[in-house]
Amino acid sequence: MISKVRWLTGMLVLPAVVLGGAALMVLAWRERLPDSLPNKGGAGGRPIVSTISLEQLATVLLGVPAILWLAGLVGFVLVGRAPAARAHWMRTSIQVVITTLAVALAASLLIILHAALDAPTAAQASAPSGAVMGVLVPLSALAGALVAFLLAGRRSPAGRAIGAPAPDAPRMNLGGQERAAWQERRVLRAVDWGVAALALAGTAMTAALVLTVGTPGWAGAGAVIVAVALLPMRSYRLAIDERTVKVKLGLISREVALNSVRRADAIDVPADRWLLDGALHGAGAGIVLLPGPALALRLADGTDFVASCRDAPAAASLINSMRDHQAS
Q: Are residues 132 and 177 in the same domain?
A: no
Look at residue 271 in the predicted model and tell me its pLDDT: 80
In whole angstroms, give the CA distance from residue 250 to residue 232: 4
Count of CB atoms within 10 A of residue 57's CB?
A: 19
All residues at 6 or more sequence positions from 34 whose CB lies less than 8 Å from its CB, including other chains: 54, 116, 119, 120, 121, 122, 124, 125
Q: Write out pLDDT tens, residues 291-306.
A: 889 999 988 877 888 8
The H or E element containing residue 120 is none
- Number of domains, the chain: 3
Q: Are residues 277 and 177 in the same domain?
A: yes
Domain boundary among 152, 172, 201: 152
Look at residue 216 in the predicted model and tell me its pLDDT: 58
Q: Write out pLDDT tens, residues 81-122.
A: 766 666 777 788 888 889 988 998 898 888 888 888 887 876
Q: Write out pLDDT tens, residues 126-144.
A: 777 766 777 788 888 888 8
Q: Are residues 24 and 93 in the same domain?
A: yes
| 6 neighbors 151 (Cβ within 8 angstroms) | yes
Domain boundary among 234, 251, 266: 234
Count of CB atoms within 10 A of residue 233's CB?
A: 15
Q: Are residues 96 and 110 in the same domain?
A: yes
Position 206, amino acid: T
* Helix pair angle (84-115, 130-152), 10° resolution: 150
pLDDT in tens, the chain (328 residues): 556 777 788 888 889 999 999 999 999 988 888 887 766 554 545 555 567 788 888 888 888 889 988 988 888 888 777 666 667 777 888 888 899 889 988 988 888 888 888 878 767 777 777 667 777 888 888 888 888 888 887 666 666 666 677 777 777 777 655 567 788 888 888 888 888 888 898 888 878 877 776 555 666 677 788 788 888 888 899 999 888 899 988 878 888 888 888 889 998 888 877 776 655 555 557 788 888 899 999 888 778 888 999 899 999 989 888 888 877 7
Domain boundary among 152, 167, 195: 152
Paired residues of 255 in beta bridges:
246
Using CA atoms, how far residue 67 sits from 15, 48, 63, 257, in Å, is 11, 31, 6, 39
Q: Are residues 119 and 198 in the same domain?
A: no
The H or E element containing residue 202 is helix 189-213
Q: Are residues 65 and 192 in the same domain?
A: no
- The whole domain housing 208 covers 184-234
Q: Are residues 200 and 143 in the same domain?
A: no
Residue 234's φ and ψ, nearest 5 degrees, are: -85, -5
Paired residues of 182 in beta bridges:
240
Burial classification of residue 312, based on how many CB atoms lie within 10 Å of its CB (0-12 exposed, 13-18 middle, 19 or more buried)? buried
Q: Are residues 174 and 190 in the same domain?
A: no
pTM above 0.75, yes or no: no
Nearest to 316 by CA among 162, 161, 169: 169
Q: Are residues 263 and 288 in the same domain?
A: yes
DSSP per residue, 19-65? HHHHHHHHHHHGGGS-SEEEEEE-GGGPPEEEEEEHHHHHHHHHHHH
Look at residue 25 in the predicted model and tell me its pLDDT: 92
Q: Are residues 199 and 125 in the same domain?
A: no
Distance between terminal CA atoms of the chain? 33
Count of CB atoms within 10 A of residue 221's CB?
A: 20
Q: Are residues 191 and 146 in the same domain?
A: no
Q: Are residues 50 and 173 in the same domain?
A: no
Position 30, amino acid: R
